[in-house]
Structure 1
Amino acid sequence: MMSDNTFNGTGFASLLPAGYGWAESTDRTLPEVMHSIREHLGMDIAFIAELSDGKRIFREVDAKDDACPIRAGNSDPQEETYCQRIVDGRLPELIPNVSAVPEAASLPITGMLGIGSYMGVPIRLADGSVYGTFCCFSHEPDTTLNKRDLGMMRVFADIAARQIERDLGARRQQRESEDRIRSMLKSDELSIVYQPIVDLRQHRIAGFEALSRFAAVPARTPDLWFNEASQIGLGVPLEEKAIRAALLGFDRLPENVYVSINASPELILEDRLHHLLSGTPLERIVLEITEHVSIDRYQEIGEVTRKLRERGLRVAVDDAGAGYASFRHILKLSPDLIKLDISLTRNIDTDAPRRALASALIRFAKETGSKVIAEGVKTPAELGVLQDLGVDMAQGFLLGKPLPLMESLMTHLH
């Protein structure tokens, strides 16, 4: 109980038990704070309830013992509750002795739950709408409950409203993301462009990297589309759609030209590649593993790709030099191809540290039997330095922009 404390409107510091101040409360979850308030007030049960579609739905419940008759997720008719009557003003927010308030005493829920004293305050969102209520009750009357106790309840209700609003916003964004990606999966708004990869020793096009493009709104880069899909558990289906689209034009390519496709560890581990690449000559496929963080399941990825590599598939590690993770990928996956990230190739002709790191990776590749592809080559000077360092292949705007298949073939192979 709080009869000895004062409420000054500045937070929980003067309201909660010793050692539980405002700074600490902001770092703790709503259930933890609710538990502390319930114990401090000496109440038996505290809960946060949502009022929705004619029901009171218990979202959080904290009880003195396990015999509590309500659980999170339970619901009852909204009209038969204290919560609804408090929100519309038929019951006061503070009821120290329920038996002294006829409307409260006559409610069936009073006898069912054994309510002796009750406090409840509305939880209002930023737009003024009522989400629900924050309530506490005891089985015995408690005439020491007062307006200062109610003040603490209101402070917590305001904090809960902000957290609930964030949660509702996150769920809304989740639904919007799911709708957007599912619409993308059903539409023809994903297309593929092909960027040439040039063999610098034979002076010919060795392959094309298949790159996704999205015509849907919002207009944004492909990596953001794939990241969003991955966050909501639809990354693999979107990758599958992109790979299928990339392979549609495979038969139009010369037999000495390969196609490089991108795949995440998640897609590889689901063992979908065998199905996706069925009927495709694997010796003309390069699999670029796209991942910018360390991978936990290298052994499993290696096992899946080993079976495909035995049939001719080549594996490339993308973005080498962009971070620690790419070096781990190289060491753990023993790729056939190592792709130098644009952060290394850009301005390599004028930047000694870039040249030194690129040179080290090229030497490593030679010793391990890998070939090196330089990405993002933009100027003749950059290309010249990369050739001097011993890079095997290169791609970038200097050598050819990504274009739709037939346009790319006409531009780069004729």
Structure 2
Amino acid sequence: MTSTLESALLRLARKQSASPHEDFTETLSRSLHAIRTHLNMEVGFISEFVNDRRYFRYVDADNRDAVICVGQSDALEDSFCQRVVDGRLPGLLTDACLHPEALTLPVTRALPVGAHLSAPIRLSNGRVFGTLCCFSARADHSLNGRDIAMLQVVSDMLAGHIEARLLEQRAQTDIESRIALAMEPDHMRSVYQPIWDLTQQRLVGFEALTRFQCGPAQSPEQWFMEATQADLGTVMEIHAIECAVQALHHLPEGIYLAINASPRTVVSPELSQLLAGLPLDRLVLEITEHEVVDATMYSRIAHITRSLRDAGLRVAVDDAGAGYASFKHILHLAPDIIKLDVSMTRGIDRDLSRQALAAALVRFAESTHGRLVAEGVETDAEIDTLRQLGVGLAQGYALGKPMPLEQALHLTRTPSQQT
């Protein structure tokens, strides 16, 4: 084996075991070129069997005007590939014109086909995906069993990559189907959690949250994470926001509505189009993200939200205290509202460290003309502590669970106060 082929196969094996996200097309193309040049063949290709036809998915050739090209197809029964797979032809032919079965195929004399090597690409369930083939117009009697064995080794490696890609595509299709189902009427709905002013003890707004009425049974966070992984995160978020803002037509003028969007959705033209014409002075855009956002994205967010904020929109950063990313958001976006994460508020009445951090954020918010909202408040003791620390706004089960719009509207008409 030449050092060139050894290096190519070593790179392929490393990609297969250590880098599953390496470019699929590059891997197959480089492997095909390596084995073709090692065997000194004129043409190499990777085919796929679909019903009764053979499709050429990858082609590598000395001559750019090769007799076959990517995307072409022909009848499977009229191919060397089918006959190799079912055993009518051997995987190695040093001169196809000397084999009786090969001579039954018109292509053998028409091209002509001299030396020919073919190995099935067989998946783990036994299904033949297609074949890895190399051939030349000239005969080559120097080819031997080691050459066809090497072709089969490469074919087996390619089968692993192809099977992984097929599984990814199947998973992607399944996710797309689930996301499409989730966005059908009555499968996605908005609920509204009240936000209270702790000092004045009055209702000031609602955060719109999403609930799913279809399977699989998983949390809203998992739904949105799955949609993001499938490159459908913005589509689902925009749909959720469309559902949520319908409440603005019914909520009293003095009550604001908080909606959630990831940085990618914030900079999407779809969000700007959706917000156009809405009463921005009654909206709070909560930017939610649990990963580090780069400087370019921060600049885009600032640019997109500048005119919206000038028109009255307020920007909030979610999950403050939950990790590094939220503090980066605060420093780069200068939000109007900072939302104190549930991990900070839970048990804050018994934890001096949490109290110290909350107090620091209160001072930071005051110095930047912002406000602090505590999330996940569940006890009266937590409410009292937050009030003493100067946290102005809060939400949580102790103040009201997420509720349907009808119940939220009833709450706005009820004179009862929070504790």
TM-score under structure 1 length normalisation: 0.88
Contact 1:185/1:237 (<8 A) preserved: no
Q: 26, 29, 32: which is aligned to 2:14?
A: 26
Q: Which residue of 1 aligns with 2:107?
A: 109
Deviation at 1:330, TM superposition (A): 1.8
Distance, in Å, in 2 between the alignment partners of 1:260 and 1:343 is 20
1:87-127: per-residue Cα shift (whole Å, max 9, x none)?
A: 12221111112121133245333345442111112122222
> For the Cα contact (< 8 Å) 2:13–2:157, is it kept in 1?
no
- Give the superposition deviation at 1:193: 0.9
Counterpart mapping for 1:34-49 below 5 A: 34-49=32-47
Q: Say which SS state the counterpart of residue 247 (structure 1) adopts.
A: helix
Partner of 2:258: 260
Q: Which is helix-richer, 1 or 2?
A: 2
Aligned to 2:358: 358
The 1-side partners of 2:97 and 2:72 are apart by: 26
- How far, CA to CA, are the matches of 1:356 and 1:82 in structure 2? 76
Q: What's the offset of the Cα at 1:21? A: 6.5
Structure 2 Cα separation of the partners of residues 172 and 365 of structure 1: 47
Q: 1:301 to 1:22 in 2, by over 3 A?
A: closer
* Aligned residues with identical type, % of pairs: 48
Structure 2 SS opposite 1:309: helix
CA distance in structure 1 between the aligned counterparts of 2:354 and 2:60, rounded to whole angstroms: 58
- CA shift, 1:280, in A, is 3.5
Q: Point out where structure 1 has 5 or more consecutive residues left out of the alignment.
A: 3-14
| Unmatched segments (≥5 aa) in structure 2 | 17-26, 415-419
- Inter-partner Cα distance in structure 2 for 1:362 and 1:152: 68
Secondary structure in structure 2 of the residue aligned to 1:408: helix
Q: Which residue of 1 aligns with 2:71?
A: 73
C-alpha distance in 2 between matches for 1:343 and 1:184? 29
> Is the aligned partner of 1:166 residue 2:154?
no
| One-letter amino acid matched to 2:128 | V
Q: What letter corresponds to residue 357 of structure 2 in structure 1?
A: L
Q: Is the 8 A contact 1:194 1:210 kept in 2?
A: yes
Q: Distance in 2 between matches of 1:273 and 1:24?
A: 42
Letter in 2 for 1:26: R
Residues 121 and 153 in structure 1, CA contact (< 8 A), matched pair in contact too? yes
Residue 191 of structure 1: aligned partner = 189
Change over 3 Å in CA distance of 1:69–1:359 after alignment to 2: farther
Q: Deviations over 1:301-329 (max 9, x none)?
A: 22332222222221111112223322232
Aligned length: 402
Match of 1:331 in 2: 331
Q: 1:277 to 1:349 in 2, by over 3 A?
A: same
Cα separation, 2, equivalents of 1:53 and 1:187: 37
CA shift at 1:16, angstroms? 7.8
Separation in structure 2 between the aligned mates of residue 258 and residue 42 of structure 1, nearest angstrom: 72
Residue of 222, 229, 242 corresponding to 1:244: 242
Residues 204 and 367 (structure 1), Cα distance of their counterparts in 2 relative to 1, 3 Å cut: same
- Distance in 2 (CA, whole Å) between partners of 1:20 and 1:167 is 20
- Contact 2:182/2:214 (<8 A) preserved: yes
* Residues 6-40 of structure 1: CA deviation (Å, up to 9, x unaligned): xxxxxxxxx98555665862326333333333233
Superposition CA RMSD, Å: 2.6
Residue 349 of structure 1: aligned partner:
349
Residue 299 (structure 1) shift: 3.0
Question: Normalising to structure 2: TM-score of the pair?
Answer: 0.87
- Between the aligned partners of 2:323 and 2:69, the Cα distance in structure 1 is 48
Q: 1:51 aligns with which of 35, 49, 52?
A: 49
What amino acid sits opposite 2:146 in the alignment?
R
**Correspondence for 2:267 among 245, 266, 269:** 269
Q: Does the aligned pair in 2 maintain the 1:205–1:413 contact within 8 Å?
A: no
Distance 1:108 1:208, change over 3 A: same
Q: Distance in 1 between matches of 2:211 and 2:140?
A: 66
Offset of 1:274 from its aligned partner?
Answer: 4.7
